Amino acid sequence: MKPQIIALLGSPLPEGNTAKLLNKAIAGAEAAGADVRLIRAPDLEISACREFYFCRENETCIMEDDFTPLVPAFREMDSLIIATPVMTMGVPGHLKSFMDRFQVFFCAKYIRKDRLVSKEKRRMRRTLLLSISGMNLPNNFDGVKLTTESFCDVIDCRYDDELFIRDMDNRVDLDRFPELLQAAYEKGFRLGGLLTGTYAGA
């Protein structure tokens, strides 16, 4: 069975620049021999975490919605790609709400001391973060990175690599910058290749 990677899109635009970047990373991971499942966070019918704390004692969330069937997928995945634009110096609301629902993993790891991810999986799991910002500021990606690093810790999928592209308000369309799309492809190939043994780089 091929390694399983989840590609999580935070942008509400399925044809936008963030999606273009993610599609290239997916192509790279697949070329390296991995299977990739695309999940578009804005398309999910989910509620924000309501802090019922059912997950303090249980491996599931008491709220049943589109998040529910994804819990096993995030337990069993081998790596993760997150692609998101910067909105208000952080991740978009729907993606943030999705991340917050992983209290299920947090409570298992930090309260019950019984992680949902096996030790074998934890050794191999890595996260690649792709992010785009319209502005060109030195701290454009601070909020996105901090949120993602915390999320990665909660789900036991270590933050491993990143590709940040700023000044998209002036760049406008990534199709005009094939070198940036190629960089996303190479990042995806590395992630997949580390799982399949096809990546020879450092």
Q: Which domain holds residue 141?
A: 4-196
Asked whether residue 202 is assigned to any structural domain, the reply reads no
pLDDT of 110 above 90: yes
Asked whether residue 59 is assigned to any structural domain, the reply reads yes
CATH number at residue 24: 3.40.50.360
Q: What is the C-alpha separation between 42 and 188, in angstroms, rounded?
A: 22
Looking at per-residue pLDDT, the higher value among 67 and 201 belongs to 67
Q: What is the C-alpha separation between 108 and 192, in angstroms, rounded?
A: 28
Contact 81, 6 (CB under 8 A): yes
Asked whether residue 14 is assigned to any structural domain, the reply reads yes
82: tokens are 């997150």
Which of 128, 140, 147 minimizes the C-alpha distance to 169? 140
- pLDDT tens digits for range 18-30: 999 999 999 999 9
Please give the tally of structural domains in the chain.
Answer: 1
**pLDDT given at position 200:** 78
Question: Stretch 56-73: mean pLDDT, rounded?
Answer: 96
pLDDT of 51 above 70: yes
Cα angle 130, 148, 181; round to 5: 0
Asked whether residue 100 is assigned to any structural domain, the reply reads yes
Asked whether residue 107 is assigned to any structural domain, the reply reads yes
Alpha helices in 77-165 (DSSP H): 93-100, 103-106, 119-124, 142-154
Asked whether residue 201 is assigned to any structural domain, the reply reads no
**pLDDT interval class at 202 (50, 70, 90):** low
**pLDDT given at position 43:** 97
Share above pLDDT 70 across residues of the chain, in percent, rounded to a whole number:
100
4-9 and 79-85 strand pairing: parallel
Cα angle 114, 115, 119; round to 5: 115
**pLDDT given at position 199:** 86
Question: Stretch 148-157: mean pLDDT, rounded?
Answer: 98
**pLDDT given at position 41:** 98
Residue 84 half-sphere exposure toward CB, CA atoms < 13 A: 30
Asked whether residue 127 is assigned to any structural domain, the reply reads yes
Asked whether residue 156 is assigned to any structural domain, the reply reads yes
